[in-house]
């Protein structure tokens, strides 16, 4: 299945976002790359970009996302505000694997001020390599997360 990937990068993460975008556009696993991020030198802040990218995933217009800011944390916080989206910062291969295999996450967040460019590119590629197994022991945790999120959503409306 070819993936639709949304990429986002604020002013700080624009350089890595551009490199990752170029890699994804050449990746045979990727059908479409949706770029919501800033270009190098352009002013943009992470809250609107992270939220907008996550909304595309929640709406079914993208399958996954790779978001870049200074630490990855701001983008993760924003993306996690969108119901139905799970995002996390990960800066090593094992964490990227577990992001999908244990947590069925949708968004990998990276920090341009935290890791090197080549590692960021490699981790973005690895993120596409994994598929959540709904028969795994982690499925019960994902189901509970979904139920709790629905409860919180219904309590606030």
- Per-residue DSSP letter, 27: -
Q: Which two tokens stand for residue 154?
A: 């219904």
Say which DSSP state 113 is in: T
Question: Catalytic positions, please?
Answer: 69
Q: What are phi and psi of 32, to 5 degrees?
A: -150, 140
Give the separation between CA 59 and CA 45, rounded to whole angstroms: 22
Q: What number of other Cβ atoms are within 10 A of residue 155's Cβ?
A: 7
The secondary structure of 35-90 as a DSSP string is: E-SPPTT----HHHHHHHHHHHHHTTS-SEEEEEESSSHHHHHHHTTSTT--EEE-
């Amino acid at each position: 299945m070819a993936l639709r990937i949304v990429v986002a990068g604020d002013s700080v993460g624009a350089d890595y976002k551009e490199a990752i975008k170029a890699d994804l556009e050449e990746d045979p696993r990727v059908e479409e790359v949706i770029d919501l991020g800033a270009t190098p030198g352009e002013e943009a802040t992470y809250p609107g970009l992270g939220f907008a990218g996550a909304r595309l995933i929640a709406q079914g217009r993208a399958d996954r996302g790779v978001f870049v800011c200074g630490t990855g944390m701001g983008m993760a916080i924003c993306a996690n505000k969108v119901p139905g989206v799970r995002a996390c910062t990960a800066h090593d291969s094992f964490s990227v694997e577990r992001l999908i295999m244990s947590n069925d996450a949708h968004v990998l967040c990276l920090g341009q001020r935290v890791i090197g460019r080549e590692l960021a590119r490699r981790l973005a590629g690895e993120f596409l390599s994994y598929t959540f197994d709904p028969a795994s022991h982690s499925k019960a945790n994902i189901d509970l997360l979904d139920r709790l999120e629905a409860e919180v959503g219904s309590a606030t409306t």
